[in-house]
Structure 1
Amino acid sequence: MTYRSILLNLGIDGPIEPLTRIAIDLAKRFDARLIGFCAADAPLPVTMAPEGAAIAAELWEQSRDEIRQRLGSVRGEFESLVAGAVKTDWRGAIENPDHALVRSSRLADLIVTSASQGASKGDSYRTADPGSLVLRAGRPVLVAAHGAASLPAGKVVIAWKDTREARRAVADAVPLMTLANDVTIVAVDRNPDDWIKDSVKDVASFLAGHGIKARTEVIKTDDDQANRLLDFLASINAELIVSGAYGHSRLREWVVGGVTRSLLNEFWLNRLMSS
């Protein structure tokens, strides 16, 4: 398994260089096509007076014209940064970023984005929500550490839970883990039983079949499991965490669960998540 196409989600308000550098490096490593993506929209001004409708519509079109110009600038900067180093494509849209990005995910083996404001925060007209993305895209999502211009992945930690989402994440992360020097599978539970211990061993066996040597950790905790996991990641200076993403749809909004939200809110982490 490898990544042959990488979809890079760029924020319209920038800066785009750090995240683009990460994506270029990944595209080089895997000989992948890099698809630059950016989307934003403007809310329609609310007016109660009939005579204000025309003015509101005019202001809305002006805002969308500004977005159109900014999309052109982002594309130009993206193409300048790539400078022919890898094969590229571009997708830009004046549309809700979440919807446009999820639809474009069908193009990619891997999505690269950031969570500069954590999970489910920021202007939904100008910023894609990483939590919603990872739950809806049907593709692995690499959420890069805030401001990072490279992806150190020598020390990888798998946050293991015996679920469909975690199994999917482990399989999706195999190409990155083949580049790692140190892989740890960690399960955090209040009452770790033989079932959990056996599942961790099975993951290590699966990875060994791909030439990846992994050690295992089973941590018993009476504290909050997300906090204990974060403490462990910090204690070993983890460079990339692989995790299933958990959540549900609440009407039209996709809402991530507690551990997933905690991981997305940690700006210092590089996270590969699948759902």
Structure 2
Amino acid sequence: MTVEVQEVERVVLLVDDMPSSLDFLVQALDQAGYTVLVAPGGEPALRLLDLSVPDAILMDAVMPGMDGFEVCRRIKAVDAYAHVPVIFMTGLAETEDVLAGFAAGGVDYVVKPVRIPEVLARLATHARNARLARLSREALDIGGHGVVLLDGLGRIAWQSPQAAAWLAALFGTPDAAADWLRGLIADPTRGSGETRVMPDGRSLQLRPLGPAGIGETMIFLSLRQPGNVQPARPALATLTRRETEVLSWIAKGKTNRDIGDILGMSPRTVNKHLEHVFEKLGVETRAAAAALAIREFDPEP
């Protein structure tokens, strides 16, 4: 069964200090099937995000008080909604202004006066990509394991919900967890990972998996019951992020076409990743690869 992006209850947050001037945009979004939330400025937008996390945000760049760039930076600093794509609406078309929007964490921009077909096309693309990215990353949050991404400055850029809960139990705060994880990836003598005992007696294995994107490092977390701590399998540790994602969906019984739909790639590309997985794991069939993954990730004895 193919995992599809939900078409029901797609929510967009529109942030503009003169929202009445964009009534035509609200109507167009409504007709396109979006539920539109409106905030007349940066502070109201941040308060609204505490109540409802949208699929995407259309943000006016120039607003009195807190401008759109600052609002975007604050949004990206909060794990709970950092994943939401921000599209700037701006009359500023100079290169430095566009770059400022991207530097703040925006994914795209449209120039005012906005053109409805362009807004709808960009909005649909970015909202869909963001949701599929969350699906593919959260696929790792099954079977007693999770994942953390550190950015180029050693900060936690993203963590799966399960990983966040385990790190909170071990270290208390995200900053303390990030400090420890930075030490883990910086020390070559700890390259194969470490195991820490959780407060409830279970053991959490943390393994650096290397680069996962521009300036990002992936760390793989695997939970074991007491008395069932096993060494990391070197073969699994050599998989790239994409190969790990493909393997995680194979373990869940998905076909190459299903995985292609989920990860936004062709079935042929999925098959190429799968060939690399087979070679690294030393197996010949998808069933064998799935069984190996399940044995490795299953925390039960």
TM-score, length of structure 1 as denominator length: 0.32
Structure that is richer in strand per residue? 1
Look at both structures and tell me which one has the larger radius of gyration over its CA atoms.
2
Higher relative contact order (CA 8 A, sep 6+): 1
TM-score, length of structure 2 as denominator length: 0.30
